């Protein structure tokens, strides 16, 4: 049986004197020479059949069986890539589809990645107002008092947040981010095809994504650590000309860049996401890495060696991103 992941509790939580999250991310990027984030977004269709069938044999064709397959898939990919990358980004929806059993694996994956030295960006895209945003923030990047203990929920290092509700919806996240030395990535210009329906609409003659960018800079002013803020932005690789504009508007904001690979973003499209110092962005690839074995160029690995294909994909993405930063 899958065990409920133990929620970490501490009798005393002290103010961290360690480097903030954005500094840790930059250091890991510089160490690995790979501004890459592996998107751990498992669908059963991505998982090789031998793993799925083994999980079903042990736990049945149930939510528990599906969750076990996800865990075994994640673990192999992490074990084969952790030394090459600074970070991972599990998309919580891919775990929520399997109910409570899936959320157990989400929490287990986070803890396993952190034990491997990786920073974890929880792709949760939360956003509400007042106490609700505060509760979301506490659950994902903060801590909560339970009797005489202080406990952490999912304990991710960063999360993605939705700014649609404005400052009321973002400030509670920023407050917890600052209190706990964690990080945020605020949706600004997303990679999906219909993002322009709202994000490109003109407001007083300017596209909405530019106005959101300016608010992100404002929200991040109290979260600076050196040249960059712990409040970052999500900027899709699929709109390179807009990335160029946003880089100028947000020179001290770190970009989380989705849309590379399977969604159509190319290495050349990444160029404007980075600053002249070669920093400023971490590039996410999900299907292009975790389902690499399904691509023709990695077919030689086959389903049995899917994680080795993922490792090779990481190496090649790292090389491509380095070329564009030079």
Active site residue 125: yes
The burial of 84, by beta-carbon neighbours within 10 Å (0-12 exposed, 13-18 middle, 19 or more buried), is given as: middle
> CA-CA-CA-CA torsion for 253, 180, 124, 295, nearest 10 degrees?
70
Contact in structure between 88 and 121 (CB atoms under 8 Å): yes
Examine the pLDDT at 231 and tell me if it is beyond 90: yes
Examine the pLDDT at 282 and tell me if it is beyond 60: yes
pTM of the model: 0.92
What's the CA gap between 264 and 281, in Å, rounded?
A: 18
Angle 280-114-301 from CA coordinates, rounded to 5°: 85
pLDDT digits over 60-103, tens only?
Answer: 999 999 999 999 999 999 999 999 999 999 999 999 999 999 99
Q: What is the pLDDT of residue 202?
A: 98
Q: Among residues of the chain, what percentage have pLDDT more than 70?
A: 91
pLDDT digits over 151-178, tens only?
Answer: 999 999 999 999 999 999 999 999 999 9
Instruction: Estimate to the nearest angstrom the gap between the alpha carbon of 10 and the chain centroid.
Output: 26
Cβ-Cβ contacts under 8 Å for 102 (sequence gap 6 or more): 63, 66, 67, 70, 94, 95, 96
18-33+124-325: CATH superfamily: Aldolase class I (3.20.20.70)
CA atoms within 13 A on the CB side of 36: 30
What's the CA gap between 217 and 255, in Å, rounded?
A: 12
- Strongest mean pLDDT among 188-192, 258-262, 319-323: 188-192
- Nearest-CA neighbor of 171 among 209, 237, 219? 219
pLDDT digits over 33-71, tens only?
Answer: 999 999 999 999 999 999 999 999 999 999 999 999 999
Band (4; pLDDT cuts 50, 70, 90): very low
What does pLDDT average to over the chain? 92
Q: Are strands 231-235 and 183-189 parallel, antiparallel or unpaired?
A: parallel
- Nearest-CA neighbor of 263 among 285, 242, 279, 280? 285
Question: Tokens 């592996």 appear where?
Answer: 38
Q: How much is the average pLDDT of 295-316?
A: 96
Q: What is the pLDDT of residue 134?
A: 96
Q: How much is the average pLDDT of 224-247?
A: 95
Question: Tokens 């600004």 appear where?
Answer: 188
Q: What is the pLDDT of residue 218?
A: 98
Examine the pLDDT at 14 and tell me if it is beyond 60: no
Paired residues of 14 in beta bridges: none
Instruction: Find the catalytic residue in 33, 125, 171, 294.
Output: 125
**For the chain, how far is it from start to end, CA to CA, in angstroms?**
50
Answer with the residue of higher pLDDT: 175 or 321.
175
Domain positions in the chain are: 18-33+124-325
Q: What is the pLDDT of residue 124?
A: 98
Q: Phi first, then psi: what are they for 5, rounded to 5°?
A: -65, 130
Q: Are strands 87-88 and 119-126 parallel, antiparallel or unpaired?
A: parallel
Q: What is the pLDDT of residue 142?
A: 97
Band (10; pLDDT cuts 50, 70, 90): very low
Examine the pLDDT at 20 and tell me if it is beyond 90: no
Q: What is the pLDDT of residue 1?
A: 39
Q: How much is the average pLDDT of 261-271?
A: 77
Three-state SS letters, 207-231: EHHHHHHHHHHHHHHHHEECCEECE
Structure-block tokens of residue 307 = 């994680």
Band (268; pLDDT cuts 50, 70, 90): confident
Paired residues of 225 in beta bridges: 228
Contact in structure between 119 and 21 (CB atoms under 8 Å): yes
Examine the pLDDT at 322 and tell me if it is beyond 90: no
Q: What are the angstrom distances between the C-alpha of 114 and each of 87, 118, 154, 308, 310?
A: 9, 5, 12, 21, 19
């Amino acid at each position: 049986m899958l065990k409920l992941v133990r929620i970490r509790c501490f009798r005393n939580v002290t103010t961290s004197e360690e480097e903030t999250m954005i500094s840790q991310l930059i250091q890991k990027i510089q160490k690995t020479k790979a501004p890459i984030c592996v998107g751990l977004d498992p669908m059963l269709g991505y998982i090789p059949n031998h793993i799925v069938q083994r999980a079903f044999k042990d736990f049945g064709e149930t939510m528990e069986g599906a969750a076990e397959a996800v865990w075994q898939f994640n673990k192999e990919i992490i074990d084969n890539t952790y030394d090459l990358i600074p970070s991972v980004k599990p998309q919580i929806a891919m775990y929520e589809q399997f109910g409570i059993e899936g959320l157990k694996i989400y929490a287990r994956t986070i803890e396993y990645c952190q034990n491997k030295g990786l920073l974890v960006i929880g792709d949760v895209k939360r956003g509400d107002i007042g106490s609700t945003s505060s509760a979301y923030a506490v659950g994902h990047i903060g801590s909560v008092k339970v009797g005489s203990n202080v406990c952490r929920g999912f304990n991710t290092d960063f999360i993605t947040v939705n700014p649609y509700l404005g400052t009321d919806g973002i400030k509670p996240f920023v407050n917890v981010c600052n209190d706990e030395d964690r990080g945020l990535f605020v949706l600004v210009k997303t990679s999906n095809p219909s993002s322009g329906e709202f994000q490109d609409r003109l407001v007083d003659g300017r596209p909405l994504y530019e106005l959101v960018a300016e608010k992100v800079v404002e929200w991040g002013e109290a979260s600076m650590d050196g040249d960059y803020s712990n409040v970052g932005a999500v900027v899709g690789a699929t709109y390179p000309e807009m990335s160029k504009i946003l880089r100028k508007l947000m020179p001290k904001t770190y970009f989380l860049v989705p849309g590379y690979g399977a969604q159509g973003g190319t290495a050349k499209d990444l160029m404007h996401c980075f600053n002249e110092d070669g920093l400023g962005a971490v590039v996410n690839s999900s299907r292009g890495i975790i389902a690499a074995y399904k691509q023709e160029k990695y077919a030689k690995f086959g389903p049995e060696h899917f994680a080795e294909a993922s490792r090779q994909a990481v190496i090649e993405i790292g090389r491509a991103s380095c070329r564009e930063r030079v």
